[in-house]
Chain A
Amino acid sequence: MDLTSASINFSIIYPEISLLIAAALILVSVFHKSANRIAPYIALIGIVVSIAMIFKQWGHQESGFFGMITCDSFGVTFKLIFDVTALLSLLIAHRYMISKGINRPEFYALLLISTMGMMVMANTTDLIVIFLGLEIMSVPLYVMAGFAKRSLWSSEAGIKYFIMGAFASSFLLMGIAFIYGASSTTDLRRIVADFHFIMSNSPAYMLTGMALILVGFGFKIGAVPFHSWVPDVYEGAPTPVTAFFSVGPKAAGIAALLRIFIFGFANVMMLSTVFWVLAVLTMSVGNILALKQNNIKRLLAYSSIAHAGYILVALTVGGNDAISAAIFYLVAYIMFNLGAFAVVTLMETRSGCKSDFSELVGLAKVHPYLAAVLTLFMFALAGFPPTAGFFGKFYIFSAAIKSGYIWLAVIGMLNSFLSVYYYLRVVKTSYFDSSDKSFIPVKYSLSIIIVLVITVIGTLGIGLFPQQFLNWSQSALFAFL
């Protein structure tokens, strides 16, 4: 705690505050009889105001709350990422919640609070505040995963997510305790300043602490061998919720990992070896297990594990090139992954659908545009040019090769070849397969169309102008801390 800069400086948390006000309004409005209808609009306004506040913060470099909250371009970039994720998830969720009869106003409040937690997590250099942000993010997510409380699937997913999440948080907290014991502070900036002294003084506490923190975040971002909860939770949770936590918490986890391990403990020798092993395991296991899935949500779950692996490659490499590539990849991934989930959600608004492959048969005949959009997202996930997915992978692997991690890049590329098989299987099923059951048409809604338009523009736009976009993600690293 830095008591010399004795200022609170509320202006750096305006985006968080506007989300919180919107959430509070929704919780108050619960008692009004038309709360179901107005809640999504309140949430929408909250997010839009929050985005406006973020643009006002752009390029500032401040800290407040006695040094416990920082506001730098890295954090602001991530705030924007979280807000866009929340906005798209909200639009995806609205119609689905109505069609499943679970359109209750709390959902939108939980979404906003969880987003606020992510922002806290990405905008601090203090380990305890990172932990608090993580909890503010996770506790609403547990509830959201189990939101369809009459559904066995959803409540099972909720409890599994809760147990694994709380387990991971305890590991993280124990790690923080050890690092606090070794360095007598939880502020990363002060730990970095005295790093060599602390390391030579109490290496055992320091290394134990780092290992425990890594395990905690490994669970949170779904890295192998801590991934076992991911497919179950993704499959059981309501689909828009799955969409939200396939990108939001993952991005927050990556942001915190970047803060702690790339900025904080970058000088530890074994660290890149540990990340190397994690990255290779995560990519390979994710892709191999995805090959034989027959449920699209489960397939996307394994694919999200594999994508976390690609981002871990960038973390292994370290350095400005790789980290800006990681941010580039994260934004691109948000676009095409949320797009794919929007299509899946749209399919699931028909009654009795569980997102099995067989339900895709005949999609191209009934809805040619929807099938084309789905194909685009699958190509982007697999990494075909000229989509955003291709350039994301390209920048990460070229950064790896430049820094001499040839084998890592080779394994990564082999993995993306492998992934082509299962992504194209989705395309093949929707275009070429036939069955005796006729395809039940889906009903579009305005919000889903908006999401599809935004994500298609994002996927293609980032793919067509990658250089401009890379410059943008490099500017996020300007004055990293």
Chain B
Amino acid sequence: MISISSYVIVAAVLFGIGTLGVLISRNIIILFMSLELMLNAASLAIIAFSRELNVIDGHVFVFLILAVAAAEAAVGLAMVITLFRNKETLNIDRFNLMKW
């Protein structure tokens, strides 16, 4: 039996990779993947806790989170397409119309 802490460590590492990806990557599609990775890390943690604590709620939450992630991805990709039509690039450094 793998202990709960290993699951939490994996989730935390995934979350960290996702965060780094959002902060570092310059391509919007990679950035999206990193965002999804962060959500999935949270789902993994919830599933692991739910199994460990023997409370079934967590399993249901993960379904809700999947639905949310799908909605976010749909909206996000649609916005990337409108942006690409306007600007013909996916590099976020080029989206610098507004700066202080």
Q: Cβ of A157 and Cβ of B86 under 8 Å apart?
A: no
A177 within 8 A of B: yes
| Majority SS at the chain B contact face | helix
Task: Name A170's contact: one of B38, B52, B61 (CB within 8 Å).
Answer: B38
Q: In the complex, A280→B48 CA distance in Å?
A: 38
Q: In the complex, A157→B76 CA distance in Å?
A: 12
Q: Mark A107-135, 1 if CB is under 8 A from B, else 0.
A: 00000000000000000000010011001
Q: Cβ of B31 and Cβ of A181 under 8 Å apart?
A: no
A residues whose Cβ falls under 8 Å from a Cβ of B: 1, 128, 131-132, 135, 139, 142-143, 146, 149-153, 155-160, 162-163, 166-167, 169-171, 173-174, 176-178, 180-181, 184-186, 231-232, 235-236, 289, 293, 298
**Contacts A155-B83, A166-B72, A180-B58 given: A174-B8 contact, CB under 8 Å?**
no
Chain B contacts for A293, CB-based, 8 A: 100
Q: In the complex, A152→B65 CA distance in Å?
A: 31
Task: Name A142's contact: one of B48, B64, B79, B95 (CB within 8 Å).
Answer: B79
Q: Cβ of B98 and Cβ of A153 under 8 Å apart?
A: yes
Q: In the complex, A149→B100 CA distance in Å?
A: 23
B97 within 8 A of A: yes
**Contacts A152-B86, A167-B35 given: A180-B80 contact, CB under 8 Å?**
no
Task: Name which residue of chain B comes closest to A142, CB basis.
Answer: B75
B residues whose Cβ falls under 8 Å from a Cβ of A: 4, 8, 11, 15, 18-19, 22, 28, 31, 35, 38-39, 41-42, 45-46, 48-50, 52-53, 55, 57-58, 61, 64-65, 68, 71-72, 75-76, 78-80, 82-83, 86-87, 95, 97-100
Q: Cβ of A156 and Cβ of B53 under 8 Å apart?
A: no
Q: Can you show 24 pairs from A to B with CB atoms below 8 A apart?
A: A135-B71, A143-B75, A146-B83, A152-B87, A152-B97, A153-B97, A156-B95, A158-B79, A163-B31, A166-B35, A169-B39, A170-B18, A170-B35, A173-B65, A174-B41, A180-B50, A180-B58, A181-B45, A181-B49, A184-B49, A185-B57, A186-B61, A232-B98, A235-B98
Task: Name A177's contact: one of B46, B78, B87 (CB within 8 Å).
Answer: B46
Q: Cβ of A159 and Cβ of B79 under 8 Å apart?
A: yes
Q: In the complex, A152→B80 CA distance in Å?
A: 12
Shortest 6 CB-CB contacts between residues of A and residues of B: A170-B38, A181-B49, A177-B45, A173-B42, A184-B53, A232-B98
Task: Name which residue of chain A comes closest to B52, CB basis.
Answer: A181
Q: In the complex, A279→B100 CA distance in Å?
A: 22
**Nearest CB in chain A: distance from B97 CB, A:** 6
Q: Cβ of A236 and Cβ of B71 under 8 Å apart?
A: no
Task: Name which residue of chain B comes closest to A165, CB basis.
Answer: B72
**Contacts A152-B87, A152-B97 given: A170-B8 contact, CB under 8 Å?**
no
Q: In the complex, A174→B46 CA distance in Å?
A: 8
**Contacts A146-B82, A184-B55 given: A177-B49 contact, CB under 8 Å?**
yes
**Nearest CB in chain B: distance from A42 CB, A:** 23
Task: Name which residue of chain B comes closest to A141, CB basis.
Answer: B75
**Nearest CB in chain A: distance from B45 CB, A:** 4
Known pairs A135-B68, A185-B57, A298-B100 / 18 extra A-B pairs, C-beta < 8 Å: A128-B64, A135-B71, A142-B75, A142-B79, A143-B78, A149-B82, A155-B79, A155-B86, A158-B82, A170-B18, A173-B65, A174-B41, A177-B45, A181-B45, A181-B48, A184-B49, A184-B53, A186-B57
Chain B contacts for A178, CB-based, 8 A: 45
